[in-house]
Amino acid sequence: MPIFAHPEFDQHEQVVFCHDQATGLKAIVAIHDTRLGPALGGCRVWPYADEQQALNDVLRLSRGMTYKSALAGLPLGGGKAVIIADPRKDKTPELFQAMGAFVDRLGGRYITAADSGTGVTEMAQIRQRTRHVVGAGEREAFGGGLRTGDPSPSTALGVFIGLREAVRQRLGGRDLNGLKVAIQGVGQVGFDLARQLHAAGAELWVSDIDAGNLQRARDQLGAQVVSQDAIHGLDVDVFSPCALGAVINDQTLQVLRTPVIAGAANNQLARPGHAEELWRRGQLHAPDYAINAGGVIDVAYEYSGGSPEQVRLHVEGIGETLRQIFQRAEAEGRNTTAIADSLALERLNAA
């Protein structure tokens, strides 16, 4: 399997294939860049069709983590881990303990965290074999008391702040009361975002593959439920992708007409050219690795130490980062993803 000639290879420093015969673990860890600090990124469990798909994902996601940490002003690099398994039936404590042993052998160059298919329970199992893991225990909450190590509340807060800034830039300083928002995916982050938007007076349309998530959004937030196929083409102000990536693609662009696109999903653009297409059409896209950085900010403070107030203030800075991206894009006539890439590279090269 070629690595250096792989289309998603971006001068990655290290790519490690991990196999444990006893537990059946098959995983890949990609460390993209450590110029700013050790590589931090989640551990994803997904039933990839083959190793090629898993490699594609881990290379793309690890690069995104480098840019995310750089834009967020964190002393961290970018990395990612993927485990080839079905999260509904293949997860065992022994599997994640074996994963922890592989993470530990990297000597702190990679710090793992929760991602799709993993959570606090799995991180605690990994922690039995390594200290290079975050999100495994309880932490002090923003408003006092304790919460789990799940960083999704910080992710949702950052997306809410970033969405509000994008609306201000594109729709002219209006508040969120009466704003029409279509949210694709109302799991932990998507629902928390929806809750904050509802409290601000927004009207919500939602889709999700999980009927329970849809029922909760309908019952608690008065959201209108639509199909997965219909969510992209609604006549609303904001489309907010909060599920898996590549949702902005050749097919969805045929119907997607919202003036603002701002959501929590990683790798929202199926290919780089879609950023230019959105810019050409006047649709303001908040680059995902800028707007969804709240989670990595949260776990970075867990790893290095810091108060809930410090975390909250750092997450609120996502709004200022996006303001810089939007204003510079307008001044230079370049799409927002190109500008975000430039800002991240400037910070990396300065290191």
Cα(222)–Cα(206) distance, rounded to whole angstroms?
10
SS3 label, residue 231: helix
Residue among 117, 44, 33 at smallest CA distance from 76: 33
Q: What is the largest CA-CA distance in the chain?
A: 59
The b-or-e profile of 265-278 (16+ CB within 10 A means b, else e) is: bbbbbbeeebbebb
CA distance 84 to 96: 12
> Which residues are CB-contacts of 304 (< 8 A; sequence separation ≥ 6)?
75
Does the annotation mark 80 as catalytic? yes
**Burial state string for 144-165 with b = 16 or more CB within 10 A and e = fewer than 16:** eeeebbbbbbbbbbbbbbbbbb
Q: Can you name the residues that pair with 15 across neighbouring β-strands?
A: 30
* Interatomic CA distance for residues 101 and 136, integer angstroms: 16
Please count the residues of the chain: 351
| 68, 80, 89, 180: the active-site residue | 80
Catalytic residue positions, numbered: 80
